[in-house]
Amino acid sequence: MTDRLGVFSGVSAKGVVACNFLCKAAFQTLKSFQIFILMNSPNRNPIVRSYRDLEVYKSAFRLQQEVFKISKKFPREEMYSMTDQVRRSSRAIGANMAEAWAKRRYEAHFLSKLTDSDGELQETTHWIDSAFACEYITEPQHSRLLQDLASIGSMLGKMIATYQSFCY
């Protein structure tokens, strides 16, 4: 039975505190499980302790390294234009994810940095298409990079759609 303030009669303050603690612990466990399901991959540890544990970040990092390697062969006259732009945008995909991870206490900031990462992914796609159109990369390189970008975009899109489950 409740009194006029809506407080249950017979429930001590210690009981309420214990209930709050258990609810918070269950919520944190659920969030960890959701992160695991979202980033599901073989041999995956369900506890994400760092942005470096995220499959989407690992994929973005591999992509930036591949872009760097491929762009070394771009013509010298592109050094301060296309080469610089594609390297910068590909690096910014993962960099924005890292920054988002640090700001996940604030939902709006976390979401903002994730969308910045998605914007950099779109810019990288543009530069990869441009490099192919200028015949700086081969068709197989172009296809592989676009597949990698699509995969990262899909994972990033899932994070954006469920961003609240990453915040605390």
Res 14: pLDDT: 57
Report in angstroms the alpha-carbon separations of 62 from 8, 56, 66, 92, 125: 56, 10, 6, 13, 15
Q: Where residue 126 falls among pLDDT bands split at 50, 70, 90?
A: very high
Answer yes or no: CATH 3.40.50.740 is held by domain 51-166: no
Domain locations along the chain: 1-47, 51-166
DSSP string, 11-40: --HHHHHHHHHHHHHHHHHHHHHHHHHHT-
Burial class (CB in 10 A: 0-12, 13-18, 19+), 117: buried
Average pLDDT of the chain to the nearest whole number: 84
Helix axis angle, 107-133 relative to 139-161, nearest 10°?
170
- pTM for this entry: 0.73
Q: Is the pLDDT of residue 151 over 90?
A: yes
Residue 2's pLDDT band, with cuts at 50, 70 and 90, is very low
| pLDDT at residue 71 in the model | 97
